[in-house]
Chains A and B, each alone.
With several copies, the nearest count.
Chain A
Amino acid sequence: MTTVEEKAGSGGGRVSKEGLRGFFREMLLIRRFEEKVEERFRAGELPGFLHVAIGQEAVASGVCAALEREDVIASTHRAHGHSIAKGTPIERIMAELYGKVEGCSHGYGGSMHLYDVEVGNLGANAVVAGGIPGIVGAALAFQMRGEQRVAVAFFGDGATNAGTFHESMNLAQLWKVPAIFVLENNGWAESTPAKQHLPLPVDELGKRALAYGMKLIEADGQDVEAVYLAALAAREHALSGSGPVLLHLRTYRLVGHYVGDPQVYRDKEEIKKTKATKDPIELLRARLELDEDELASLDAEVMAEVEASVEFAKAGTDPKPEDALANVYAPARKMDRGGLHA
């Protein structure tokens, strides 16, 4: 999790060069982690169904840096970046993808169900929009208890077409709970381009907020600084008691929907052009004027971390088959006559 000094002083301030380098390193870590995941999947080492968020790193990094540890998030099928940025060590994520007990979900979850409750990750969800109402409930709990915490739902443009999204937004605004709805708008739902699934122009998807009278904050999802500042503002708004925020971030998926996706549905030129112009890491590298050497040494550092995570994962413990049944129910609690409960 990137920590940015200026956090306290929000409200339009810019992030220092130091801060931006921190973002750069984290985004690079996410990128290299996911590239490694792709590689290991292709090598046949990783079971299951994987979605990487290559191109969307600035969203994960920028948003999570604006959060405190006690704030909570719910993620999606495209969860690695969110999980890393919220503070789960990458080796525990890698171990999860290898199905190991040391994994952040102890091998029960897999890529689409990364949890780490200790750092506030309430779980990635493989059902589109499935995690959003839970975030409203978490925010409600914070509100009822008077805690200064926000609950954050990540979801994509495709998810805004789900009834679950609508009911959640509506209820959150009605009750003015401290929630942030992070619309990670990459313009695609699997193979379906925005114009085939959204009645609004893709860049106008923030208008969804109007149906609830919800505060809308928008930022360029490829610019981590912009994302961070917008997320800070969103958090401030949500905590002020004025209600939740729809944080609309336009971003780009530079790769396929899932690892292995041949993208037959996508124009090759468009992919090329998007890669060349919308890579948030490239954009930040240019802005930071990192030279090849700096980049290379940073990259080596990050790659070493990633390699270590693979080693950690491979050396991990396989669950026992019968562990499958160990977490179906929470254990019984003691209960006294008349209802004492502890």
Chain B
Amino acid sequence: MPELTYREAVRDALSRALREDETVFLMGEDIAEMGGSMAVTQGLLDEFGPKRIRNTPISEMAIVGSGIGAAIQGMRPVVEIMYEDFLTLSMEQLVNQAAKHRTMSGGQVKVPLTIRTQGGAGWSPGAQHAQQLESWFVHVPGLKVVFASTPEDVRGLLWSAIYDDNPVVFFEHRTLYPLKGEVPDELEPIPLGKARVHREGTDVTVVATGRLVHDALTAAEQAEKDGISVEVVDPRTLLPLDEETIVASVKKTNRCVTAHEAVVRGGFGAELAAVIQHAAFDWLDAPIERVGSKFAPLPFAPVMEQYVIPQVEDVLAAIRRTVARA
């Protein structure tokens, strides 16, 4: 099996879709000559030309909004919002338009639009370039929400997002772009709505997303040395949510930790905890622990930044707290 970086895996899904399907095209800031601020779309301009790899003005509302209009007319646009902090500028189009057109029209239209974006801390960007906002979109009926953590997943899920007939907000994590991993020769579409069990275990389930999947795996290895067997599950699609896989895991392990980089309060971990405590109430031997950023806008200075965002040790400590319960 070939090895790709997470960045290459995103690019591979994009270029295959562009190659196969004339209705697919890209819009976003600096995605053409520069290949995107994360170098994800490098080379695509050369292969597909400026009609399909479209640099846009700094107009996040119009980028998403025109994507919606083109999607309704039968195209499959993939738009890029350079940092997810700037999704804040397109919320109206995402939430009132993309998510609602189908219901409001009584099923007359569909909006096969993919909105790729990325974010994540750990490189001292300060408060406006690293906020993780995925939980907002989980609250919006009509959207689908994906957050992929490995090269294989990001490729297979992006493909499915592009070919889904609904608007999909697709989160990538900035610190994962250089991450390498094996991927199948042929692109395997990964259905939206299926969680992935990364590691089996019997004592506690960590449900993690994005960068925290990797931190959870590291924490799991460390815990193993103390004889704690950790199962790590990545929902991958946050909406619709694969409750079945997640709940089954917790019913097996009887303990649960949720982990993401977003701040804990109001984060996706809250939804997970609410679902799990409800569905696995009689199985839980300890309160569900939530790991995430501390409640502050991200400060610049590295020492403060590292204090705010969750680390492997935070996951490990949460694992330990759950197993410490009688």
Contact = CB atoms under 8 A, between A and B. Distances in A.
Contact of B102 (A126, A131, A134, A328): A328
A86 to B, nearest CB: 14
Given A112-B128, A265-B34, A321-B304, A196 B55 contact: yes
Interface in A157-204: 158-159, 161-164, 167-168, 170-171, 174-175, 189-192, 196-198
B29 to A, nearest CB: 7
B182 interface: no
Interface string A5-24: 00000000000000000000
Interface residues of A, number: 84
A48 B299 contact: no
A106 interface: yes
B92 A164 contact: yes
A221 interface: no
A228 interface: no
Contacts of B178: none
Q: Looking at B107, B108, B160, B305, which has the most chain A CB atoms within 10 Å of its CB?
A: B108
A117 B33 CA distance: 37
B106 A106 contact: yes
Interface in A241-263: none
B106 A105 contact: yes
A264 B303 contact: no
A113 interface: yes
A161 B62 CA distance: 10
Interface in B1-44: 16-17, 20-21, 25, 29-30, 32-35, 37
Contact of A127 (B96, B191, B295, B297): B96
Interface string A301-342: 000000000000000001111111111111111010111010
Q: Looking at A136, A142, A161, A324, which has the most chain B CB atoms within 10 Å of its CB?
A: A324
Interface in A100-115: 100, 103, 105-113, 115
A338 B66 CA distance: 28
Contacts of A197: 55-58
Q: Looking at A113, A128, A190, A264, which has the most chain B CB atoms within 10 Å of its CB?
A: A113
Given A265-B33, A324-B308, A48 B69 contact: no
Interface string B42-63: 0000000001001111111110
Interface string A30-48: 0000000000000000011
B34 A264 contact: yes
B182 to A, nearest CB: 17
B57 A158 contact: yes
Interface string B83-125: 0011001001100110001111111111110000000000111
Given A135-B69, A168-B65, A339 B295 contact: no
A134 B66 contact: yes
B291 interface: no
Given A265-B34, A319-B303, A48 B104 contact: no
Interface string A109-149: 11111011100001101111111111111111110100000
A325 B283 CA distance: 31
B68 A115 contact: no
B69 A318 contact: no
A99 interface: yes
Contacts, number: 302
A140 B96 contact: no
A142 B73 contact: yes
Nearest to A340: B20
B223 interface: no
A100 B299 CA distance: 12
Nearest to A325: B296
A244 B88 CA distance: 28
B166 A113 contact: no
A151 interface: yes
B186 interface: yes
B102 A331 contact: no
A328 B128 contact: no
Given A115-B108, A167-B57, A328-B141, 19 more contacts: A47-B124, A48-B124, A72-B73, A99-B300, A112-B129, A122-B109, A127-B128, A129-B58, A130-B97, A137-B65, A141-B73, A144-B51, A144-B75, A161-B57, A164-B65, A171-B57, A197-B57, A325-B295, A341-B163
7 contacts: A47-B300, A107-B299, A108-B299, A108-B304, A109-B105, A109-B126, A115-B104
Interface of A: 47-49, 72, 96, 99-100, 103, 105-113, 115-117, 122-123, 125-142, 144, 151, 158-159, 161-164, 167-168, 170-171, 174-175, 189-192, 196-198, 264-265, 318-333, 335, 337-339, 341
Interface of B: 16-17, 20-21, 25, 29-30, 32-35, 37, 51, 54-62, 64-75, 77, 85-86, 89, 92-93, 96-97, 101-112, 123-129, 141-142, 144, 159-160, 163-166, 186-189, 191, 294-297, 299-308
Nearest 8 interchain pairs by C-beta: A133-B65, A137-B69, A106-B106, A99-B301, A110-B300, A191-B34, A321-B307, A161-B57
